[in-house]
Amino acid sequence: MTKKYDIALLGATSLTGEAILEHLAERNFPLGKLYLLSASLSVGDEIFFRGKDIVIEDAEQFDFGRVQLALFAAGAEAAAHFAPKAAAAGCVVVDTSPQFRQDVGVPLVVTAVNRERIPEFAARRLIACPNAASMHLLTVLKPIHDAAEMTRIDVVTYQAVSGTGKDAITELADQTRAIFNLTETENSVYAKRIAFNVLPQIGELQDNGYTSEEMKMVDEIRKVLDAPTLAVNPTTVRVPVFYGHAQAVHIETKHKLAAQAASDLLKNAPGLTVIDAQDADASPTPLDAAGQDEVLVGRIRDAIALPNGLNLWLVADNIRGGASLNCVKIAEILVESYLN
C-alpha cells in the first residue's frame, strides 16, 4: 500500500494556494489528511476539495507536528513567522514567497533545473521557490547554459496582473469596465491606471535604478544556476493581461549555439513546448499559455548583432505554471525520495 502524507497548506485562498489545490487534486499525489490554514479573516471559511468541504483553520493555533509537509502560499510576512515554527515541529516547508530565496542556508529549487539541491532542505527543513518569471526563464536557460555556457542575458518581461494578486485582477476588470462605460477609473493597487496601459516598474526602485522585481530575477537566476557572476540585465513591465507572463530574451554564449540547434535542444528539455513554426500567427501568446503547465517557447533565432547570440520569446501561465506547480513537484520528490 502506498504511504500517505499529511500536508498543511498555508494561504489556500490566495491565487497560488488555489492553484496548489488544483495540482494536488489532479496529480497522483499520495495525500493523506489535508489541513488548510490561514492567518487572516478567511479562518472558518470552507473550501471544497476532492468531494468534501474543508474548514480553514487558524495557523496560529495549528500544531505543525501533525503533518510531514507544509506548503506555504501566503506571502513573505507569513512565511517568516510560521516557517520556523513548522520546521521546529519537524515538518518540511516548501515556501513560494520571496522570504527565504536568498538565504544561503535554504535551497532555491526549480525541479526542471536543479532538483539535485533538494536534499539540502535537511539543514533548515525548508525549500524556497523562485518567482514565476524567474522560474519560467530558468527552465529555458538551463539547457542552453549546459550546452554553450551563457555569458549574458538581457530580458524584458511582460507580466500579468495576477502576479500581484486578486485585488489587481479586480482592479483591471473594474477599470476596463469603467472605460467602456465612460466613467471615472479608480486605482488603488497600482500607482497608475493599468487598464489599456503599461507600467514599466514592478516593485520598489532600488539605489542602482533597478526595481526589486528586477533584482529578484538577477539574484534568483544566479543562485539557481550557481553562476554568481553571470551578467543578467532585466526590465520588468506590468501589462493589462489577467494571466500569463511573457518574456523577450536575448542570450549571449561563450560557445556558438545556432538557433536550430537551440530549438532542438529545448524540444528535449523538461517543462517546455517549442513552437518553431515560421508563421507569425503561430507564435505563443499569454492566451495560449493560460491553463497550461508548460513554458511555451517561440521565435528562436540567431542574433543579428552578436556572433554567439540567441533571441527567443517565451510565455507561461504565471499562476498554474508558476510557483504552485513547482511547489507541488518539489513535494512529490520529497515524499518519493526523502521523507519516511
Task: Tell me which CATH homologous superfamily contains domain 5-130+323-337.
Answer: NAD(P)-binding Rossmann-like Domain (3.40.50.720)
> Would you call 65 exposed, middle or buried from its count of C-beta atoms within 10 A (0-12, 13-18, 19+)?
exposed
Structural contact between residues 145 and 319, judged by C-beta atoms closer than 8 angstroms: no
In the predicted model, what is the mean pLDDT of residues 48-71? 95
**For the chain, percent of residues with pLDDT exceeding 70:** 99
| Ordered alpha helix ranges (H), 122-185 | 132-148, 166-180
* Contacts with 270 (C-beta within 8 Å, 6 or more apart), sequence order: 112, 139
Q: Closest Cα to residue 313, out of 273, 340, 265?
A: 273
Task: Say yes or no: do domains 5-130+323-337 and 133-318 share a fold.
Answer: no
Q: What is the pLDDT of residue 340?
A: 75
Q: What is the pLDDT of residue 328?
A: 98
In the predicted model, what is the mean pLDDT of residues 118-129? 96
Q: What is the pLDDT of residue 40?
A: 80
The residue ranges of every structural domain in the chain are: 5-130+323-337, 133-318
Q: What is the pLDDT of residue 315?
A: 98
Q: What is the pLDDT of residue 232?
A: 98
CA angle at residue 75 from 230 to 13, to 5 degrees?
130
H or E stretch at 290: none
Total Cβ atoms within 10 A of residue 88: 11
Query: CATH assignment of 133-318, given 3.20.20.70, 2.60.40.420, 3.40.50.150, 3.30.360.10?
Result: 3.30.360.10
In the predicted model, what is the mean pLDDT of residues 226-231? 97
Average pLDDT of the chain to the nearest whole number: 95
In the predicted model, what is the mean pLDDT of residues 236-248? 98
The confidence band for 280, taking pLDDT boundaries of 50, 70 and 90, is low
Q: Is the pLDDT of residue 279 over 70?
A: no
Bridge partners of residue 157, in order along the sequence: 236, 247
Place of cell 526590465: 235
Place of cell 471559511: 45
pTM of the model: 0.94
